[in-house]
């Protein structure tokens, strides 16, 4: 896994906070606290978010970036076990009472994220804001429920269906029809051979659902992609509900 890259700091505003479901649940005073002490940065692929077994120093709230949680296998391979977008936060281990994780996390799709220190995040938790805690609990419950669903999905559904499901969920999170992605990276996310993912993506492209070129996938026909996906996409949407609403919605 590559190390951290230089973070490009942008201007953090209240309008930006509203684009992440967890940050949108902050009280006015807590929002002001994050605006004062947090940063808005550009994440690049595959920038590391936290390492396995090492203390988690920072917490990321994606705006239009998508984070991946992966498990490293003994043979050196990796498989995705979870993703986090604008519906949540990278601090799942901290929410469960740990300071480290057995998995590692890094940026899956480049974009913006709000970052605060882990100490600052703990202070937000200890502030006793019920609204903030309720949003965090909803996200955590949906995330844990999806872990089981995705485990079943990886075991029962075809690469073609899983590819469509992954693209739909990513499309929901980035608010753009264009997704920066290579076949090699998508194969790791799906835990499938690159050749199988290449065939699946080519089939989706031939159907007119997507266009793939130069490391980017463009969503052309979302309805068709939903029909190609397995049932797990609908389950994911139901689990995350309003957490995945559009910023204007």
**What was the pLDDT predicted at 239?**
78
| Terminal-residue alpha carbon distance, the chain | 37
At 49-96, the pLDDT tens digits run 999 999 999 999 999 999 989 887 776 667 778 889 999 999 999 999
Dihedral pair phi/psi, residue 236, rounded to 5°: -65, -45
**What was the pLDDT predicted at 249?**
40
Q: CA of 23: how far to CAs of 105, 124, 130, 212, 246, in Å?
A: 20, 11, 13, 33, 14
Give just the sign of the alpha carbon dihedral 202, 199, 217, 23. Answer: positive
What's the chain's average pLDDT?
85
Query: Containing H/E element for 194?
Result: helix 194-206
Residues 119, 21 contacting (CB under 8 angstroms): no
Q: Under 8 Å CB-to-CB from 42, ≥6 apart: which residues? A: 7, 8, 10, 110, 111, 112
Q: Spell out the alpha helix ranges (H) of 183-231.
A: 183-190, 194-206, 222-228
DSSP 8-state code for residue 121: H
The C-alpha atoms of residue 191 and residue 50 are separated, in whole angstroms, by 21
**What was the pLDDT predicted at 117?**
97
CA–CA–CA angle 97, 7, 240 (5° rounding): 45
Residues 55, 94 contacting (CB under 8 angstroms): no
Q: What string of pLDDT tens digits covers the 249 residues of the chain?
A: 444 554 566 899 999 999 999 999 899 999 999 999 999 999 998 899 999 999 999 999 999 999 989 887 776 667 778 889 999 999 999 999 999 999 999 898 999 999 999 999 999 999 877 888 899 999 999 888 887 777 777 667 888 888 888 889 889 888 789 988 766 667 666 666 666 777 888 889 999 999 988 788 899 999 999 999 988 888 888 877 767 665 444
Query: Containing H/E element for 134?
Result: helix 130-156
């Amino acid at each position: 896994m590559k190390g951290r890259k230089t973070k490009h700091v942008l201007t953090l505003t209240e309008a930006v906070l509203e684009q992440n479901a967890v940050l949108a649940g902050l009280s006015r005073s807590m929002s002001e606290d994050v605006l004062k002490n947090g940063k808005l940065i550009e994440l690049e692929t595959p920038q590391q978010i936290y390492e396995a077994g090492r203390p988690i120093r920072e917490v990321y709230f994606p705006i239009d970036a998508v984070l991946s949680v992966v498990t490293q296998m003994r043979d050196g391979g990796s498989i995705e076990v979870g993703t986090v977008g604008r519906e949540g936060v990278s601090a799942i281990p901290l929410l469960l009472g740990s300071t480290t994780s057995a998995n590692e996390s890094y940026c899956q799709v480049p974009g913006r994220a709000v970052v605060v220190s882990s100490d600052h995040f703990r202070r937000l938790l200890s502030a006793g804001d019920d609204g903030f805690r309720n949003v965090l609990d909803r996200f955590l419950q949906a995330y844990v429920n999806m872990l089981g669903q995705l485990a079943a999905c990886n075991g029962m559904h075809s690469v073609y269906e899983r590819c469509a499901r992954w693209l739909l969920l990513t499309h929901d999170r980035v608010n753009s029809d264009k997704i920066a992605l290579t076949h090699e990276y998508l194969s790791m996310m799906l835990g499938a051979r690159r050749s199988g993912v290449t065939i699946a993506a080519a089939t989706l492209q031939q159907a007119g659902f997507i266009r793939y070129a130069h490391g980017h996938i463009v969503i052309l026909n979302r309805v068709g992609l939903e029909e190609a996906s397995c049932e797990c996409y609908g389950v994911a949407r139901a689990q995350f509900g309003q957490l995945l609403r559009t910023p204007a919605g």
